Structure 1
């Protein structure tokens, strides 16, 4: 706190008052302020958006959530050990990720949830390290391993879009937690990849990224004690049964046995399945009349290509016939569902008209072909 300028202390006091309903921990508040260069308005918008994300993904309980097996086994990276200052070390093995395989085997929402779960694990580990060393430890050292990164494997548009979205989510929900990032095993295409990622990385974060050359293991041994550094990365530490990676998941190609059985297909393809083509700039409303309260509305849909936005709306029959008169029960959200169909359900506590909205208004050029079905049951 003593290192703050008078203007920064003023901003902290103002920010503390603005978000008193969220946190009164000055160390925590300073993370958000620093992420937005002590602009109180931008910092408040950032932390309140984080609250929305916490509610959407139930982050207060996400550490109790068990991800699908394929993500546990093939989502690369893990914490291991600490650096010479006591900061925990995370090994981000982005070069080993099989994004296409993961996206064929798990829902995009689960992949995102794993990244957010890692953010919550980081907070927990920082507290453990603080208690262990008797001082506040707020930052993480990252070793980013890009071995295996290639144009063919990683520069697939859908996978790259998701990867960039994961970077954005991390930056906007867990800011100012990075002490330093050491990039190792960088391939020739590294400059291209970094150029794509730079717009999503905060300026202060960019200053903490160090690209290491061939002697990177010597550098790591200087900042991480050898007994805390896995043998795989040039240290002396070995895991269970002599594992040189010390339990760090290195990724790898996802076996086809994990591909979801209905990848690219609805579970009720056939007579029950409907199809429609939604022109660019248009939307399709599917109205479902519910006459029995406590009915459950279930739906499933996929696109032939590209994404589609989806929303669920409701209006009582007294409000008129226009769906525009209804209220949003599920806000409009883009769904990437050409590989894995999107499923959902809603308990209809009121009688009236429930509207499944497929929205292509954000597209100026492309029509979207969709396949969908729904059912209503008690």
Structure 2
């Protein structure tokens, strides 16, 4: 058995550096005990190390954030804390400098934060958007989020020549980075370069679906869910991964994925206009009936990981819900290996159903209207353009 599926992370209290009293040091430790895990002990150890490294990076990021906040307030040095000799020291210093005295409960740092909040409040009003436009196309936003969106839009408009991404696209990149404008700007810039390099803006008009994909690829768009999201059906367990890749290559599979993603963006825009409210994500329904070890073909796994990396980098916050149904017993092991490469926030949107659990309460009917449940899952809706796949490649 495995005592801990992930590493235990412990961030110790800050301490004064033993060699320099002006420095503060933090200690982070982790422990992992794996006795047996279906022969994947080494793999699990590598995954745990990856997660531990990510935790270290996150901890550093948090510390740097607060250090930068202090810098923005003009504080470049904070002396070690010592117990004040007099209670009126702060007030006397303020009067000596000609400033108005602070209230007994308000420190100098709190005063700086108050002034900063006041200026930030004014800035937010500068960057407000039309209320009707927000409600119809973007959804609920705070004043700060509106400000971030307008800042990113202005930066793109000054940088980009020609077509500028929609506000919906900019908002997805901001949400993926917790509305950190600098980080959203960096990832968006990389994505714009990538789109130009691969001519993604032309794919809807120029892409021609290969005949082998039309005949054997078990995936298609299928109506909308109860939240208005377009649904993409994928019978992954029925897919001949080896035959598909040997027929169209990894590049052909990537082009197919790009076309599906761009179709999804277009569908969301159409549904938004139709419903009169923002629909910014889609749902994915994955049927795993027939999934077995042959799907672990190494080039296929490599292609899958490349697709995941591409989608998360260039189509952030587009996945609203992922319904995994008829998951076989082998799936938990496969999920343990693959899930590490999926963003944590995206993983939280996955729902899993083994056997026929998807037909019970809490199953598909909670998320998809009864009349849209596919016929191959016991529903009344006949699915068109979805192949009944047999083995494609025989060799």
Q: Identify whether the pair has TM-score above 0.5, normalized to the shorter chain.
A: yes
Shift of residue 95 of structure 1? 1.8
The CA distance in 2 between the partners of 1:53 and 1:98, in whole Å, is: 29
Instruction: Mark the CA change 1:132 to 1:12 in structure 2 (over 3 Å): closer, same or farther.
Output: closer
Instruction: Find 1:221's aligned residue among 365, 375, 386.
Output: 365
Paired position in structure 2 for 1:144: 286
8 Å CA contact 2:282–2:321 kept in 1: the answer is: yes
Matched, 1:206 2:344: no
Instruction: Find 1:53's aligned residue among 194, 207, 218.
Output: 194
Instruction: Find 1:127's aligned residue among 258, 264, 269.
Output: 269
* 1:248-259 equivalences in 2 (<5 Å): 248-256=386-394
8 Å CA contact 1:180–1:209 kept in 2: the answer is: yes
Higher alpha-carbon Rg = 2
Return the structure number with greater helix share: 2
Shift of residue 10 of structure 1? 4.3
8 Å CA contact 1:228–1:235 kept in 2: the answer is: yes
CA deviation map 1:288-325 (0-9, x unaligned): xxxxxxxxxxxxxxxxxxxxxxxxxxxxxxxxxxxxxx
Paired position in structure 2 for 1:341: none
Q: 3-state DSSP class of the match of 2:189?
A: helix
The CA distance in 2 between the partners of 1:192 and 1:111, in whole Å, is: 25
Matched, 1:191 2:332: yes
Paired position in structure 2 for 1:113: 255
Instruction: Find 1:80's aligned residue among 222, 235, 256.
Output: 222
Q: How large is the Cα RMSD of the aligned pairs?
A: 2.3
* 1:17-28 equivalences in 2 (<5 Å): 17-20=154-157, 21=160, 23=164, 25-28=166-169
Paired position in structure 1 for 2:178: 37
8 Å CA contact 2:242–2:393 kept in 1: the answer is: no
Instruction: Mark the CA change 1:165 to 1:136 in structure 2 (over 3 Å): closer, same or farther.
Output: same
Paired position in structure 2 for 1:98: 240
**Long gaps (5+) in structure 1:** 239-244, 260-378
Q: 3-state DSSP class of the match of 1:79?
A: strand
8 Å CA contact 2:224–2:368 kept in 1: the answer is: yes
CA deviation map 1:354-376 (0-9, x unaligned): xxxxxxxxxxxxxxxxxxxxxxx
Shift of residue 27 of structure 1? 2.6
The CA distance in 2 between the partners of 1:203 and 1:100, in whole Å, is: 29
Instruction: Find 2:375's aligned residue among 231, 248, 251.
Output: 231
Instruction: Find 2:313's aligned residue among 167, 172, 185.
Output: 172
The CA distance in 2 between the partners of 1:181 and 1:188, in whole Å, is: 19
Q: What TM-score, normalized by structure 2, do the two folds share?
A: 0.58
Q: 3-state DSSP class of the match of 1:107?
A: helix
Paired position in structure 2 for 1:63: 204
The CA distance in 2 between the partners of 1:53 and 1:118, in whole Å, is: 17
The CA distance in 2 between the partners of 1:108 and 1:24, in whole Å, is: 28
Instruction: Find 2:297's aligned residue among 156, 169, 172.
Output: 156
> Which has the bigger relative contact order, CA under 8 A and spacing at least 6?
1
Return the structure number with greater strand share: 1
